């Protein structure tokens, strides 16, 4: 088993938006920092699932795409030169007699750290796919479980299936560029943010509720139409389309971390006011963190990261009162 004997003050598991901002703040606190990321790149799932989606809920940034936000976060996260390990899945956890931790990855390599910040998002996400016999054959053509390039929907007849934030967001994003957008949901009432629902209802988006996709009809490996069923009346209708987007949620897998012995709730990790889990020295931030006043926004995660880092700093130094630190305290940045 290969050992990395170098000891870090904090190891951040997850190189997504919240993990990157946590690394930046950790550097400001002059903590020796390592980021371990499962994917072969930093930025997490935002750039993968929502590269062209416009994000508007971060203070001071009126609008920004997922790709641009990711680029800026990666640059910011590297400010203080953290050690970055990509394409690595953390599996094992051991606590040493001196209180430090040893993390073992999927290759058997060991990583030594004084504290840990878990910023994995929900872990591995897999889109819930259509449970229809012939759906699989259209995944490489015009059946989409996420959107990476908006331009391919320009001038097309698009159907979106789903009633949550992702489905509503894509309906709103596509409405100005598509020939037509139809959204269908199995219930009468949508479950996304109220302002986005209102925007959609006041647009040209055609809303069909309560409907579910009953059949897919295709030609030459492309879907040409779908049959939808009214969940109340049983009535069937056929909708012709060019592109079909399905946002029925995700299957969540936290992986081996779920077996570390932390208190869990609904596949998330319970934390206290310092973002500390039930294991002293281990913290959780972002989507994976569970506490009563949780705000499920990226901006909320950007607040949780520094709280966790401050908690980790106190854990290491045993300071009862830790000096508050702001970027304006820094005279210069090296980068």
Domain ranges of the chain: 3-125+251-329, 129-248
Task: Specify the pLDDT at position 295.
Answer: 86
Q: What angle do CA 76, 68, 9 make, to 5 degrees?
A: 25
Confidence of residue 270 (pLDDT cuts 50, 70, 90): very high
* pLDDT of 333 over the 70 cut: no
pLDDT band at 329 (very low <50, low <70, confident <90, very high): low
pLDDT category of residue 125 using cuts at 50, 70 and 90: low
At residue 332, the pLDDT reads: 52
Q: Does domain 129-248 match CATH 3.50.50.60?
A: yes
Q: C-alpha distances in angstroms, 220 versus 41, 158, 238?
A: 35, 18, 19
| 331/36: higher pLDDT | 36
User: What is the rounded distance in angstroms from the CA atom of residue 106 to the CA atom of residue 1?
Assistant: 11
pLDDT at 128: 85
Say which residue, 39 or 137, is predicted with more confidence.
Answer: 137
- Mean pLDDT score, 37-45: 85
Q: How confident is the model at residue 328 (pLDDT cuts 50, 70, 90)?
A: low
Same fold for the pair 3-125+251-329 and 129-248: yes
pLDDT, tens only, 171-221: 999 999 999 999 999 999 998 889 889 999 999 999 999 999 999 999 988
pLDDT at 106: 92
pLDDT digits (tens, 9 = 90+) for 55-85: 888 888 888 888 889 999 999 999 999 999 9
The topology under which CATH files domain 3-125+251-329 is FAD/NAD(P)-binding domain (3.50.50)
Cα separation, 243 vs 161, whole angstroms = 11
pLDDT grade for 102, boundaries at 50, 70 and 90 = very high
**Angle, CA of 17, 18 and 23, to the nearest 5°:** 100
pLDDT at residue 320 above 70?
no
What are 34's two structure tokens? 């390592």
- pLDDT-derived band of residue 335, with 50, 70 and 90 as boundaries? very low
Distances (CA, A) of 232 to 216, 225, 236, 248: 20, 22, 11, 19
Computed over every residue of the chain, the mean pLDDT equals 90
């Amino acid at each position: 088993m290969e050992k990395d004997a170098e000891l870090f003050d904090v190891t951040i598991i997850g190189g997504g938006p919240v993990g990157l901002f946590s690394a930046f703040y950790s550097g400001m606190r002059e903590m020796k920092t390592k980021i371990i990321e499962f994917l072969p790149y930093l930025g997490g799932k935002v750039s993968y699932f929502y590269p062209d989606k416009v994000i508007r809920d971060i203070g001071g940034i009126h609008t920004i795409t997922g790709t641009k936000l990711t680029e800026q976060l990666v640059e910011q996260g590297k400010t203080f030169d953290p050690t970055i390990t990509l394409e690595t899945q953390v599996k094992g956890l051991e606590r040493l007699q001196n209180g430090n931790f040893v993390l073992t990855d999927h290759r058997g390599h060991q990583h030594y750290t004084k504290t840990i910040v878990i910023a994995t998002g929900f872990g591995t996400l897999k889109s819930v796919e259509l449970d229809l016999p012939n759906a699989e054959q259209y995944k490489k053509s015009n059946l989409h479980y996420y959107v990476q390039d908006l331009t391919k929907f320009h001038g097309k007849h698009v159907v979106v299936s789903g009633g949550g934030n992702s489905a509503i967001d894509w309906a709103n994003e596509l409405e100005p560029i598509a020939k037509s957008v139809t959204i269908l949901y199995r219930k009468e009432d949508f479950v996304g943010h109220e302002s986005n629902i209102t925007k959609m209802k006041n647009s040209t988006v055609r809303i069909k509720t309560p409907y579910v996709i009953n059949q897919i009809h295709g030609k030459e490996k492309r879907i040409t139409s779908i049959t939808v069923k009214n969940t109340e009346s049983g009535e069937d209708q056929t909708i012709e389309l060019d592109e079909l987007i399905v946002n029925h949620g995700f299957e969540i897998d936290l992986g081996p971390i779920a077996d570390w012995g932390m208190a869990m709730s609904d596949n998330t990790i319970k934390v206290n006011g310092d973002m500390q889990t039930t294991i002293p020295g281990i913290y959780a931030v972002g989507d994976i963190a569970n506490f009563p006043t949780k705000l499920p926004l990226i901006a909320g995660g950007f607040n949780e990261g520094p709280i966790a880092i401050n908690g980790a700093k106190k854990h290491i130094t045993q300071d009862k009162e830790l000096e508050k630190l702001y970027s304006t305290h820094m005279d210069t940045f090296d980068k």
